[in-house]
Structure 1
Amino acid sequence: MPKRKMNNEILGILYMVIAQFSFATNDALVKYIYQSFDELAVLNQIIFLRGICCLIFIGIFLSIKNQFNLRIIFSSNKLTLRGILEALAAVGFFIGVAKLPFAMVYILLSLAPIIMTTFGALFLNEKVKWKRWSAVLIGFTGVVIVINPAELKFGYYFIFPLLSAIFLSIRDLVTKNIKTEHNSLQIAFITCLVVTIFFGVLSIYKFYSFNLEQSIILIISAFFLSFGYIFSVLTIKAALVSVTSTFRYTAILWGILYGYFFFNETPEYNTYLGAVMIVISGLIIIMRQKQLGKFNNENWV
């Protein structure tokens, strides 16, 4: 392998790890603010205000790159639909973040590529052979182990991150292979805009006052979210998705670490076992996707 290509792949992997760390940090800060109120409705206002800050950060970055073109950004109905599905996924995800152990949310969300494979077979007539079906079975078994239906220690809140994974899979199905002149950061901008408007409407339900500390944390959260988007784009520029995609699972590691050190959450053995099964399942599917050449860098954000 040429040295330059190897260096780019290492850089792409590093960017992916930084992106996942940034997203996880943003989510942890949202959970921290939520715990000060312990009301689900406050999530609407948190995500709305965070979204405004994030749009400013991304907008500045796009302007610096001379890519802030509103006509282009708002020219695709499919990208607007993508944003709506992302918003629905965010509802499930943040309810999970609020009510479940931090690591568990990331583990259950990791079911997305497994659901995507299932949907592809059922709705797009994609040919899925026994190896990928075996991976799907392993993944769903892992979910059952994580949930532990015999105890249901956290009630039925596990449904919400699973719904989030389903909406993310539908998002990727309906926007698969979009032919667009948008770059990845412009896609991130319009997605963030739709999500912000969505939660802005929901936040009308009830208004909350944030103190100075909470306001600063919210701004920092938006910074890390923007950082995550930017490094996701840098990942795409540096290396092929087929090289970096497996490192998305580092989000589970960050979830475990944040849960343990900041929220006093210690995952039980069934959580670790289920997580390993889901990751193995996802890796099998990713390896198969590599073989089939079904990765598209331009639509990965």
Structure 2
Amino acid sequence: MISAQDNLRGAVLMMVSMAAFTFNDAFMKMISAKLPLFQILMLRGILTTCLIALVMLAMGRLRFAVPREDRWLVFTRVVAEAASAYFFLTALFNMPIANVSAIMQALPLAITLAAAVFFREPVGWRRLSAIFVGFFGVMLIIRPGAEDFTIYSLYTLAAVIVVTIRDLATRRLSAETPSMAVTFYSSLGVTFFFAMAAPSQGWVPVDGYAAMMIAGASVMVIGGYICSIMVMRIGEISFVATFRYTSLVWALLLGWLVFGDWPKPVTLLGASIVIGSGVFMLLRERQINRRVAKAAAARPAAGAGV
């Protein structure tokens, strides 16, 4: 049985994970004017792939075998990972970090809706309503037709779409496929893709500052991933998942302190709607899961009295 202490530890790990991923974004944005995007992704990919291999070795999970039936899913995940890196970072390099983060908060809503459409996972009218309200919040953030609207808002939406595809592919993987191996192949595939694409943007010498930012981004990515794995093993998922929205708090703070950006009130309103919809959906799912668990526990007892 999951205790309140387990939930607290899970919430802390989720917040640390979100902070690490947001600091990674900030490090990447800080060198966006110094190096081409493809070169940055290639260099970060090399470091990240090596660090993942070391983590696998340290955890005793140096297993790379993937069942035949899962190989296309892993390949799909790699392609989606590369596409999401391109769309997300292109948007991040041209938009305030908080605005990009606010749009990305719609990801849980998009995944739930896509799972209902493609996998026929049950979604009641309350959660479906929350999803559409959340997408209305996204439209407030993007504001198509507004004076400050840019094409890079659509890049962020494209990132949401391809990350949704990535996560749906991950859901279909069998239990025999090691999660660390999937992460390793994703990192390796992204590195290879951008190494092939890097010559198209030219090569810029890497100074000490840029090297430190890339190294810092790599460490943050690995730290965020390790914490996210630990979260899955500690606490009630429907409870700790609500703390993923703390990434927006970090994005707001870093955007203000490091880049001197602060979102407009309508953007903050849209972000609040998206987050509120996501939290409602998670709490509703938690309520349904508890109801199902109680009903399942009551059946043996009812049968015993017959």
What's the TM-score, normalizing by structure 1? 0.88
Q: Secondary structure at the match of 2:263?
A: coil
Matches within 5 A, 1:164-183: 164-183=159-178
Give the structure 2 partner of residue 47 of structure 1: 41
Match of 1:138 among 133, 151, 156: 133
Give the structure 1 partner of residue 295 of structure 2: none
Give the structure 1 partner of residue 110 of structure 2: 115
Deviates more, 1:4-13 or 1:251-260: 4-13
Query: Aligned pair 1:197/2:173, yes or no?
Result: no
Question: What is the rounded CA distance, in whole Å, between the counterparts of 2:10 and 2:179 in structure 1?
Answer: 15
Match of 1:64 among 58, 79, 102: 58
- Deviation for aligned residue 1:288: 3.2
**Distance of aligned partners of 1:187 and 1:104 in 2 relative to their CA distance in 1, 3 Å threshold:** same
Deviates more, 1:226-235 or 1:179-188: 179-188
- Deviation for aligned residue 1:73: 9.5
**Distance of aligned partners of 1:244 and 1:185 in 2 relative to their CA distance in 1, 3 Å threshold:** farther
Question: What is the rounded CA distance, in whole Å, between the counterparts of 1:69 and 1:130 in structure 2?
Answer: 42
Q: Which amino acid letter does the alignment assign opposite residue 255 of structure 1? A: A
Question: What is the rounded CA distance, in whole Å, between the counterparts of 1:124 and 1:101 in structure 2?
Answer: 35
Cα shift readout 1:260-296 (whole Å, capped 9, x = no counterpart): 00001011101110000000111122223334549xx
Question: What is the rounded CA distance, in whole Å, between the counterparts of 1:174 and 1:60 in structure 2?
Answer: 25
Cα shift readout 1:64-83 (whole Å, capped 9, x = no counterpart): 12211233599941223212
Give the structure 2 partner of residue 218 of structure 1: 214
Question: What is the rounded CA distance, in whole Å, between the counterparts of 2:134 and 2:179 in structure 1?
Answer: 29
**Distance of aligned partners of 1:125 and 1:230 in 2 relative to their CA distance in 1, 3 Å threshold:** closer
Match of 1:151 among 138, 146, 164: 146
Pair member with larger Rg: 2
Cα shift readout 1:58-103 (whole Å, capped 9, x = no counterpart): 2111111221123359994122321211211111110111111101
Question: What is the rounded CA distance, in whole Å, between the counterparts of 1:52 and 1:237 in structure 2?
Answer: 28
Give the structure 2 partner of residue 297 of structure 1: none
Question: What is the rounded CA distance, in whole Å, between the counterparts of 1:175 and 1:70 in structure 2?
Answer: 16
CA RMSD, Structure 1 to Structure 2 (Å):
2.2
Question: What is the rounded CA distance, in whole Å, between the counterparts of 2:196 and 2:68 in structure 1?
Answer: 20
**Distance of aligned partners of 1:69 and 1:121 in 2 relative to their CA distance in 1, 3 Å threshold:** closer
Matched-pair identity in %: 28
- Deviation for aligned residue 1:168: 1.3
Cα shift readout 1:231-259 (whole Å, capped 9, x = no counterpart): 11111222232221111111111111110
Question: What is the rounded CA distance, in whole Å, between the counterparts of 1:196 and 1:291 in structure 2?
Answer: 41
Question: What is the rounded CA distance, in whole Å, between the counterparts of 2:174 and 2:166 in structure 1?
Answer: 15
Q: In the alignment, is the contact (CA less than 8 A) between 1:44 and 1:202 conserved in 2?
A: yes
Q: In the alignment, is the contact (CA less than 8 A) between 2:70 and 2:173 conserved in 1?
A: no
State the aligned residue count: 288
- Deviation for aligned residue 1:13: 1.1
Matches within 5 A, 1:1-301: 5-37=3-35, 42-71=36-65, 76-77=70-71, 78-205=73-200, 206-293=202-289
Q: In the alignment, is the contact (CA less than 8 A) between 2:67 and 2:176 conserved in 1?
A: no
Q: Which amino acid letter does the alignment assign opposite residue 44 of structure 2? A: R
Q: Which amino acid letter does the alignment assign opposite residue 9 of structure 2? A: L
Deviates more, 1:61-70 or 1:114-123: 114-123
- Deviation for aligned residue 1:187: 2.8
Question: What is the rounded CA distance, in whole Å, between the counterparts of 1:276 and 1:76 in structure 2?
Answer: 38
Q: Which amino acid letter does the alignment assign opposite residue 69 of structure 1? A: R
Deviates more, 1:212-221 or 1:67-76: 67-76
Cα shift readout 1:105-125 (whole Å, capped 9, x = no counterpart): 111111112222332343333
Q: Secondary structure at the match of 1:175?
A: helix
What's the TM-score, normalizing by structure 2? 0.87
| Unpaired runs of at least 5, structure 1 | 295-301
Question: What is the rounded CA distance, in whole Å, between the counterparts of 1:215 and 1:132 in structure 2?
Answer: 45
**Distance of aligned partners of 1:75 and 1:213 in 2 relative to their CA distance in 1, 3 Å threshold:** farther
Q: In the alignment, is the contact (CA less than 8 A) between 1:22 and 1:228 conserved in 2?
A: yes
| Unpaired runs of at least 5, structure 2 | 291-306
Q: In the alignment, is the contact (CA less than 8 A) between 2:98 and 2:262 conserved in 1?
A: no
Q: In the alignment, is the contact (CA less than 8 A) between 2:74 and 2:169 conserved in 1?
A: no
Q: In the alignment, is the contact (CA less than 8 A) between 2:77 and 2:170 conserved in 1?
A: yes
